[in-house]
Amino acid sequence: MRHLHSGKVRDLYEVEAGPYAGQLLMVASDRISAFDHVLASTIPDKGEILTRMSLWWFEQLADLVPGHVLSAEVPDVVRGRAVVCERLEMYPVECVARGYLTGSGLLDYRATGEVCGVALPEGLEDGSKLPEPIFTPATKAALGDHDENVSYEAVAAQVGEEVADRLRAVTMRVYATAERIARERGIVLADTKLELGARADGTMVLADEVLTPDSSRFWPADQWQPGRAQPSYDKQIVRNWLLSPESGWDRSSDEPPPPLPAEVVERTRARYLEAYELLTGETW
């Protein structure tokens, strides 16, 4: 395997021999990031949880869009946390679907009444369900930079109207299906970010991770209450601690975040595991 790239969580290698020569090995680490920093602390089993959850979702969505996974048979040293996947031409767009208002979408709405150029009704709050799900794409940022929300028209100008329309259609179909599946299991899928690429013949393929707590906001349905921040199945525990006086970290400084306390690590791991077990019905 030849190392190609390391992101915040995943490491990418080129397979150099065997039946999948020329394809990619994608490894999910236990690293965790927050506020565009990769933390010194890791979350045990996180990479395997994310990989297993993505594989489960790829199966649920197979009738909607092809997935990039070729095999889960990988070297022992990364077994459980890696997949062999297709080499694709990735679209330079973060494909985001939102069914609820929160995060950067809420900030945009409060400033302009819109999210990515989509006008929304007055009076919405943090956690409000939108009248209908919306496509809110973002530009892909380099490591350490923020993705930037953009309009559909900006995407069309970059990739062409036909491709932009397909990206939006696939994203919204995936969100509609995943939102229903999650709701049946007592989870609100507030929003999700997808990565899409193209095969040589132009076939659009779902890639990277899909519908994990790192790429989506999952909320307990029985605790959903608009007008406040929602409890969530993700790394919000980490963000909250880093912003607390206990951490002693100044987000506006150039200093990296401090290591996480063991209790924060364990609570974060437990939330990832709970999301995995609720969604898949499988016991860890």
Q: Is the pLDDT at 173 greater than 90, yes or no?
A: yes
Q: Is the pLDDT at 71 greater than 80, yes or no?
A: yes
What is the DSSP secondary structure assignment for residue 230, as one 8-state letter?
Answer: P
d(Cα 211, Cα 26) in Å, to the nearest integer?
16
pLDDT digits (tens, 9 = 90+) for 108-144: 999 999 999 999 999 999 999 999 999 999 987 655 5
21-25, 45-49, 203-207, 229-233, range with the lowest pLDDT? 229-233
Pick from 100, 99, 95: nearest CA to 170:
95
Cα dihedral 266, 271, 274, 278, rounded to 10, equals: -170
Report angle CA 233, 108, 234 to the nearest 5 degrees.
Answer: 10
| 195 sits in which H/E element | strand 187-198
SS3 (DSSP) at 129: strand
For residue 152, the model assigns a pLDDT of 96
Residue tagged 């999700």 (tokens): 192
Q: How many residues does the chain have?
A: 284
Q: To the nearest whole percent, how much of the chain has pLDDT over 90?
A: 90
d(Cα 153, Cα 135) in Å, to the nearest integer?
12
Residue tagged 């993705």 (tokens): 147
Q: List C-alpha distances in Å: 102 to 32, 260, 272.
A: 21, 25, 20
Q: Which amino acid is at 141?
A: A
Count of other CB atoms within 10 angstroms of residue 180? 10
Mean pLDDT estimate for the chain: 95
Residue 15 backbone zone (phi > 0: left; psi -120 to 50: alpha; other: beta): beta
Secondary structure, 3-state, 144-194: CCCCEECCHHHHHHHHCHHHHHHHHHHHHHHHHHHHHHHHHCCEEEEEEEE
Cα dihedral 75, 81, 86, 92, rounded to 10, equals: -140
pLDDT digits (tens, 9 = 90+) for 196-240: 999 999 999 999 999 999 999 999 999 999 999 999 998 889 999
